[in-house]
Structure 1
């Protein structure tokens, strides 16, 4: 059977299940054959051996059941990085690149101290570390598996100015403050949200997706604690849900942040809200985790 025939059959099987059926099929076959997708345009008539056809069939069945491509392949591109993925962490998504863009727009390119809370694969921390090589970046995650994964991704992308630690939000950072920038893509989905039973998120870790208080509990906690960990005029930035911009701005304002603003993603939806600590610096008392 030829590459062209295999791909056509795979398109048909995935077309009603995935909005990116053609790309999914190409990525799975490229992974199976150890080639790039451009190979298919040059050699569509190339015969595929039985062992490779069976391996491709196994991957295709997993995708038919809804398993995300990033988990099947074990990798995902983000920013200019190639990241190892794992079902123990969220899949890095294009929407999250908006958080990186906003950070780069707001801060000078000189040396900064940065924390990424809930780092997962390390995507945000590593993207910022790569763009700002003079900066010191710390990524923290409650899950030890995520910390280990982020460390592997730092090595995979030859990034030396980022380190990763196990921490329940700020708990391992008490002696590290102050920071010039705190970024986070925390859990922000309401536990009752119907989308949790749809698409790729069915396979992602629930603890990294949901938060109480209509998805705002972790954001509220981080904002409340961030005032003790930021430098004077330091920035705090979140990715959040498309309908949470107003609520997140209100939380920033309630805790004395200034220059509060919400930025939209490529789809025109509220996606990133930022705030700047006023003139106050780090307070040594009343820090929590």
Structure 2
């Protein structure tokens, strides 16, 4: 049998690379993720005997990490708020900055009821967190990628059973899945109104591709990263569609990068249906 202490040494040696975080810490974290254990559990249990399937799973994940794959893709998991979500190369890796969107939407609830739409749901991070933490009665999650939507649906197991009925997954471009007879049976051209629309849309210009770090540029899905018109094309379309579907006083919450914050504000202000446009700071203090 292989002991965890010996295998931790082996994986640490495998992951030694110039310019990469300390190999032993990476090996410890990788093993903890694969075994579904707390972060420091591998270091505290060197005599634990690994099964052959565990050894194989850790070895495969370590080889992926050595090749440059981000840790989350290598182990197939990522944390988001209190959830642990499945992620694949079809979905963005959920990031702490996006957790602020969840907090913003929860804080903006009026009466704690109604429907919220998560546009471009990817792994389902925002939608699932809202289902678990908020009092919204319905969370509709859309994505153009059916493969990403399948990942999001598989992550339903990350939230309590009694919260899963809130989720409604729909394939399609931005808010177009809501413009259906099923959604608005009496007037299919005019969808029922929702309380909030939230999104982490593509907002990077294709011209910025060479400037991205390799762990993003070479691994994350470009369809979820890049947009034409200097990164604003999807944002501008989403603003127009959200104005059609939000109830009076409803919330549109979007994540954008600091380089496009002013452009996004101007785009929202140009639509007379929106008022009280307010940029918020991310975890680094940038708008």
TM-score (norm 1): 0.83
Aligned Cα root-mean-square deviation (Å): 2.5
2:216 equivalent to 1:200: yes
Alignment partners' CA distance in 2, 1:72 and 1:82: 15
Residues 215 and 160 from structure 1, CA distance in 2 versus in 1: closer, same or farther, beyond 3 angstroms?
same
* Structure-2 residue corresponding to 1:246: 262
Aligned counterparts, 1:95-114, within 5 A: 95-108=97-110, 110-114=112-116
Residues 112 and 88 from structure 1, CA distance in 2 versus in 1: closer, same or farther, beyond 3 angstroms?
same
2:186 equivalent to 1:187: no
SS in 2 for 1:119: coil
Alignment partners' CA distance in 1, 2:218 and 2:144: 21
- Decide which of 117, 132, 145 is 2:134's aligned counterpart: 132
2:69 equivalent to 1:67: yes
- Decide which of 213, 219, 228 is 1:212's aligned counterpart: 228
- Decide which of 117, 120, 128 is 1:118's aligned counterpart: 120
> Any unmatched runs of 5+ in structure 2?
185-190
- 1:149-174 Cα offsets, whole Å, 9 max, x none, are 21221234232211101011121212
* Structure-2 residue corresponding to 1:163: 168
Alignment partners' CA distance in 2, 1:20 and 1:104: 38
CA contact (8 A) 2:33 2:77 kept: no
- Decide which of 229, 235, 241 is 1:225's aligned counterpart: 241
Aligned pairs, how many?
A: 270
* Structure-2 residue corresponding to 1:29: 31
Report the alpha carbon displacement of residue 208 of structure 1 after superposing the two structures with TM: 0.9
Alignment partners' CA distance in 2, 1:58 and 1:152: 22
- 1:43-97 Cα offsets, whole Å, 9 max, x none, are 2355667875565343222112111111121121111212111211111111110
Report the alpha carbon displacement of residue 2 of structure 1 after superposing the two structures with TM: 5.6
> Any unmatched runs of 5+ in structure 1?
271-289
CA contact (8 A) 2:268 2:277 kept: yes
User: Please, which moves more after superposition, 48-57 or 20-29?
Assistant: 48-57
Residues 9 and 113 from structure 1, CA distance in 2 versus in 1: closer, same or farther, beyond 3 angstroms?
same
TM-score (norm 2): 0.84
CA contact (8 A) 1:109 1:132 kept: no
Residues 51 and 103 from structure 1, CA distance in 2 versus in 1: closer, same or farther, beyond 3 angstroms?
closer
User: Please, which moves more after superposition, 54-63 or 147-156?
Assistant: 54-63
